[in-house]
Amino acid sequence: MSQFKCTLWPSGEVLDLNGEETLLGQLKKAGKKIKSSCGGCATCSDCIVVVKSGELNLTAQTFEELRLLGNVFHITKERLSCQSRLLGDVTIDISAHEKKSTPVTKTVVKKTSTRLKKREDVEKTVKEREEMAEMKPKDTWFKHWEKEEEDPNKPKKLGGNKRPRPFNYSETDKDETEE
């Protein structure tokens, strides 16, 4: 079983880790708090660590890791600790996992008062709204295909079912295309 040095950034703490287990499992055994809601199945991307140096000393990205993070490691230097194993010495940044939770502050909830309306006021409002609705012009589009036309001899134009008109070529176009 080979041992490798894993330097944690920014604290500078050095851990001796083996190459058989994943970074996530070994960091948790070492007492480091690494977020992971999927338990190491590569479905949550909570256990992301940033590789500061030694990126070639980690195993190649798995299919699950590529599916979750994409193929941008060369830009972001982010790896899933649940899918990475050591092949040599590395320096990783776990500062995103060490952030302490913000203290719970007492939140003040404003109580909203319920306004009760009298029955007469409600009936008055309903009546006003009904009158406004009657004043609006009626919708002429609703079931327009069932309505009678002004001229009964004129056929209804419903659109659709029209055949495309043939394209007319001029004589000069025919001569150019035949050459």
Q: Using the predicted structure, report yes or no on whether residue 175 has a pLDDT greater than 60.
A: no
Name which residue leads in pLDDT, 136 or 81. 81
Contact call for residues 46 and 36 (beta carbons, < 8 A): yes
CA atoms of 59 and 84, how far apart (whole Å):
6
Q: Is 115 exposed, middle or buried (0-12, 13-18, 19+ CB in 10 A)?
A: exposed
| Pair 140, 149: CB distance under 8 Å | no
Q: Please give the pLDDT value at position 58.
A: 93
Residue type, 123: E
Three-state secondary structure string covering 93-142: ECCCCCCCCCCCCCCCCCCCCCCCCCHHHHHHHHHHHHHHHHHCCCCCCC
**pLDDT tens, 66-96?**
998 888 888 899 999 999 999 999 999 998 8
The conformation of residue 58, written as its DSSP 8-state character, comes to B
Distances (CA, A) of 112 to 104, 106, 108, 109, 115: 24, 19, 12, 9, 9
Quote the pTM value.
0.54
pLDDT in tens, 104-127: 556 666 666 777 888 899 999 999
Query: Which pLDDT band holds residue 147 (cuts at 50, 70, 90)?
Result: low
Q: In whole numbers, what is the pLDDT of the chain averaged over residues? A: 81
> What class is the 3-93 domain?
alpha beta
Cβ burial of 55 (10 Å; 0-12, 13-18, 19+) is: middle
**What does the alpha-carbon distance between residue 81 and residue 42 come to, in Å, rounded to a whole number?**
9
Residue 56: what pLDDT?
92
- For the chain, domain boundaries: 3-93
pLDDT of residue 29: 92
